[in-house]
Structure 1
């Protein structure tokens, strides 16, 4: 079978279509013929050996897929050949066929495309875990979302509104702000490009404070990091929760005196580890996401679909932070 492979550490331009052995389902596993694979920021990092996980090469990036079950291993009863499914695979999704533990496979509802299905799990499951388990977001509270036009950012807007919050979306362009308003954001902020000097950092903090209001943001959802983190933290409410999602703008150094002055919490969000440690709680979140999806409260926004051979271009666009919503690679017809 074919895969879009990383043969040596490097950027998206180093990826090449190559051959891999056809996978075989072991006990408790299924083989999925991949139809679509969504691209996420970890795909940028993993091919450069900058991610928490470093798979042996050659490997394919791609963490979430949608496709059709081709075969099942011993003991598998919850799915059958021919079923349309979505799954998180961590990496290895940009291939024609992939082996997945049956417990990690979810039925793709009728009427939903493979492209849309592939774009659901990582962003929305990360975000529901972040907002409810780590952020303890309540109805009527204020949620500030950084990088709000990306996949996880739009998910945070939609879920924040579904949970009754007032949502402020912070982005780097008016085009992205329009996408956030379309997703339901109550207000938007357009900020400049980092790096920031001291005065620019203070001005951004003032911009955040003005947008969230005098009481501050009860929850701050930060998938950006870098020079944006400290100004955002300065706008937090008393006993607020600052959610650390990712660092495409760099790993920030936060002045911890701010946490004392606001009696606030800085909370790490590692959804993959949560899902592995507490699969029942994760499944409950996924079930809730499917209900919200059915009811129209959430909807993965796929803004661009790439051909299989152009998967590296999708990862390059993600690396340049130019994506609005989700980028998806169509692997099979």
Structure 2
């Protein structure tokens, strides 16, 4: 049967993407990063795939300029799998690029493609260097001196105090960083997320921080910011709970291995079945945070009795950014 691809279309946009949807802001950011002096925003050709999903939201900005296909992405949580995600993403973008030109990859002539570049703007609370490189080869099970396939992602820390040179060259990025910092500051003062966001927006407008953007888009920015912050907090809780669950299961496994051989088999099987059911329920909880889980996948997970396989799926779900990516990695398919 043909493979089914599921994409959560009920995602929300992000403030970062909304800010850089405006080509003038995007060009300012590009010039600041690359030391260029482009003046005409119309030089930019936006190439974003509209159904791309990251963290349950569209939070990437990809475009063509200087014969480059550049992908800018914002991350508020640490994720070492960004190079792998970008590999999937750039393959789809390049396929779209070639198809638009109606060129055949079976042609005897070389098809010229723009050079891909990947940049992540990181403002998570986990410590990270100011400007580091994440490599696809870091994920290879066996280290290779000269890997046949490599993809490098430049991760730039945009938390307040980081990369002052870049911040000085790009006003919108500097002010975006300050806006996010204000939200986090006020959330920590025992106010609701909505109150914290409203206070941050009001204060930033008053102080001229993203003033025009926030005045024009206030309602949407408030809604997005509440979603983004709550999602960030929920992800941290979920990751902590997942780590604790896996540690408990490893301890339980070690304990069971030390049981006497005379332990009643039926009792052991019942306990194992209960553990498996708990893992299945937890896995579904994780996936529900990644998007819409199709009914057939729910049934498939709940029917699975292999505790080890469920644990493997839990680890994959913890790193995946969407149900679609989870399905791609696990290769779970709808049965005929």
Please classify the TM superposition score into its range, dividing by the shorter chain length: under 0.3
TM-score, normalization: structure 1? 0.24
Say which structure is richer in helix: 2
> Which protein is bigger by CA-based radius of gyration?
2
The TM-score normalised by the length of structure 2 is 0.24
